[in-house]
Amino acid sequence: MSEHIILPEGSLEKQTTTLNLGPTHPATHGVFQNILEMDGERVMKATSTVGYIHRAFEKIAERRPLYQITPLTDRLNYCSSPINNMGWHITCEKLLGLTLPKRVDYLRVIIMELARISDHLICNSIVGVDSGAFTGFLYVMQYRELIYEIYEEVCGSRLTTNIGRIGGFERNFTAKAFEKLEKFLKEYPVTLREFENLLTRNRIFMDRTIGCGPISSERALNYGFTGPNLRASGVDYDVRVHTPYSSYQDFNFTIPVGSTGDCYDRFLVRNQEMWQSIEIIKQAYQKVQQFKGTEADVFHADAPAYYLPEKKDVYTKMEALIYHFKIVMGETEMPVGEVYSSVEGGNGELGFYLVSDGGRTPYRLHFRRPCFIYYQAYPELIKGGMLSDAVITMSSLNLIAGELDA
């Protein structure tokens, strides 16, 4: 493409058009503003503005005890909030030095992989919608609903889950939850296969996405990509394998990688990851079923000083009342130190940097939000492409406004 001269605004000779894509636009699926400099239908330059839903979580977290920060993490990547919740619990457990029973780890894995599936299925079906294929979106959406019903059985809420506690879960999984999980494991693969049949080898979809918004592995690493977007460009980095948490080392799964890092590769990687997640859930469910007798009732660590006791115990048992009071009022001893812990979120490495000075609240808490870091590559990804490619690139990056702005 030839070099263009950018003339000042208002100049008669100005040949390019300035276009505001967003802040609220149906094609952006969130509050994103991009000021595009367009030459006809091609994007010459893009300037991204972020921060429209900034909610000062890091500041608020500086005055909240650890267990009150969990609801804040829900609102980061709200398509897979259980992963954020678990990531936060795992960070706290690392700081406090808790080790969890295996059964809790496996239950967490089930929930986290369900969340990953719900995140990826939204992203991939939205890529379909943005390229003009609405059907797949409706097909898979009913399984997101089923996943949300499973959350509901476990924690009582659906989107912003606030699931689990420091040290385990708030209650054991009910029989109904496992029943729904079985239903999901039986029916979802069929639908996912059907969804793939609609898009993966669809000539129109392939022409639309291959070569659209590509990034090389070197650039992706330099831009701080993680998660499916990095793997689509050919780097097999996955926190679940590199730094296993929550007993991921006990599972057998593969990490799909792409090669060109374009929209099509990102789509394929996410689809493959959903298949891998189904495998992981099956293995985890098998392992959970092997616990018999009293072991099958374990759903939290035996750490009364940190694990918020059940409400009915608070009303009837002395110790539970004391611990409840101490935890809620922030009287428990917190170790002094700094800890960085990360989990593989739906979009990449979700990190928590927690500095504790021994007080009842964190001295400093920083969320490493994968979206925020890879979004800066967006202007480079869409440069020289068509406007409609910019839209599809944005949805295939799976930008979540909540995670971008924290």
**Which stretches of the chain bind another protein, using CB under 8 A?**
50-51, 54, 56, 58-60, 62-63, 94-95, 219, 221-224, 235, 237, 242-243, 337-340, 342, 349, 351, 353, 355, 363-364, 366, 368, 372-373, 375-377, 405-406
**With respect to another protein, which residue has the nearer C-beta, 62 or 313?**
62
In whole angstroms, the minimum distance from the beta carbon of 58 to another protein comes to 7
In angstroms, the CA 254 to CA 76 distance is 27
Q: Which residue(s) pair with 356 in the sheet? A: 337
In whole angstroms, the minimum distance from the beta carbon of 234 to another protein comes to 12
Q: Report how far apart, in Å, the C-alpha atoms of 16 and of each of 20, 38, 49, 213, 222 are.
A: 13, 5, 20, 22, 31
**With respect to another protein, which residue has the nearer C-beta, 202 or 247?**
247
DSSP 3-state assignment of 37?
strand
In whole angstroms, the minimum distance from the beta carbon of 347 to another protein comes to 14
**With respect to another protein, which residue has the nearer C-beta, 28 or 217?**
217
Neighbours of 270 (CB within 10 A): 27
**With respect to another protein, which residue has the nearer C-beta, 129 or 365?**
365
In whole angstroms, the minimum distance from the beta carbon of 320 to another protein comes to 26
In angstroms, the CA 383 to CA 305 distance is 54
In angstroms, the CA 158 to CA 82 distance is 10
Q: What amino acid is encoded at 353 in this protein?
A: Y
| DSSP H helical ranges for 311-367 | 311-316, 318-328
Adjacency order of strands within the sheet including 364-368:
336-344, 349-357, 364-368
DSSP 3-state assignment of 36?
strand
In whole angstroms, the minimum distance from the beta carbon of 226 to another protein comes to 9
Instruction: Check whether the bond before 309 is cis (ω within 30° of 0).
Output: no
**With respect to another protein, which residue has the nearer C-beta, 25 or 219?**
219
**With respect to another protein, which residue has the nearer C-beta, 333 or 380?**
380
In whole angstroms, the minimum distance from the beta carbon of 127 to another protein comes to 24
In whole angstroms, the minimum distance from the beta carbon of 232 to another protein comes to 16
Neighbours of 145 (CB within 10 A): 11
**With respect to another protein, which residue has the nearer C-beta, 15 or 20?**
20
